[in-house]
Amino acid sequence: MKRLVPLVCSLLLSCTKPTTAPTTPVDAGEPVTSRGTEAAIPDAGSATPDAGTSATARTDAGTQGAPTARCSASDLSPEPKPTQPPVPEAVDSMRRRIMAAAVACDYEGLAALTREKGMAFKASFGDVTDVAGYWHELETSRGQPVLAQMVKLLNLPYARLGDLYVWPSVHRENATDADWKAVEAVYPPEQLAQMRQAGTGYLGLRLGILSNGHWQFALAGD
């Protein structure tokens, strides 16, 4: 019996002795990850919506869709009245497109029309290089309904000055009472009366289109 005790103890120690499992070296260049717990990596091709952008894209010139903002011309019709006598096709095409862009409150579209022929355009007697920004400022900051004025004036009688077609017809020498009366649809009679009394002639907005369809100016003042 005394001989069995040491043998039993020896067997117990051999059963409970910890064993060290062999380890395989990990390549330092490979990241160690836990399977099943990796966070999903977004696909680079999927975009996350920017909190600062609108779900509705702004419409540029030539694109379809509803305008993103209102302006003074929003409630006017873009359909022009026939001119008497008829103007050249290129002139009428530009006139129609100016009206359509103005009613759509499309400042960039209007600016694109001024550059279409690659010729000079004048929007002010000052130094204006960004006509879209200039008209937008007149509308939103200065309270001048320049887009509505464009649409209304292009529906009035015009005057032909050589190769240039000018709206309204009152912007010419020896303008008649009928010429002045027509522009009352755009400007208050009192304001027009002051122009006549001062002898300055018509100083409101006027638009000029050359016979080749180039939009040459949209000017007010002197």
* pLDDT tops 70 at residue 23: no
* pLDDT tops 80 at residue 167: yes
3-state secondary structure of 118: coil
Name 166's Cβ contacts closer than 8 Å, sequence gap at least 6.
158, 159, 160, 172, 206, 207, 208
> For position 6, what pLDDT does the model report?
43
Rounded to the nearest integer, the mean pLDDT of the chain is 79
Express each pLDDT in 75-126 by its tens digit: 999 999 999 999 999 999 999 999 999 999 999 999 999 999 999 999 999 9
Name 97's Cβ contacts closer than 8 Å, sequence gap at least 6.
113
Average pLDDT over residues 187-215: 96
* pLDDT tops 90 at residue 180: yes
Longest dimension (CA), the chain: 144
Q: Answer whether 159's CB lies under 8 Å from 172's CB.
A: yes
Can you say whether residue 134 is alpha, beta or left, with left for phi > 0 and alpha for psi between -120 and 50 degrees? alpha
* Eight-state DSSP code of residue 97: H
Name 41's Cβ contacts closer than 8 Å, sequence gap at least 6.
none
Q: pTM for this structure?
A: 0.70
What span, in angstroms and rounded, lies between the C-alpha atoms of 201 and 67?
37
What span, in angstroms and rounded, lies between the C-alpha atoms of 133 and 81?
29
Q: Is the peptide bond before 168 cis (omega within 30 degrees of 0)?
A: yes
> For position 214, what pLDDT does the model report?
98
Of 132 and 33, which is predicted with more confidence? Answer: 132
Average pLDDT over residues 138-151: 97
Average pLDDT over residues 52-64: 34
Length of the chain: 222
* pLDDT tops 60 at residue 52: no
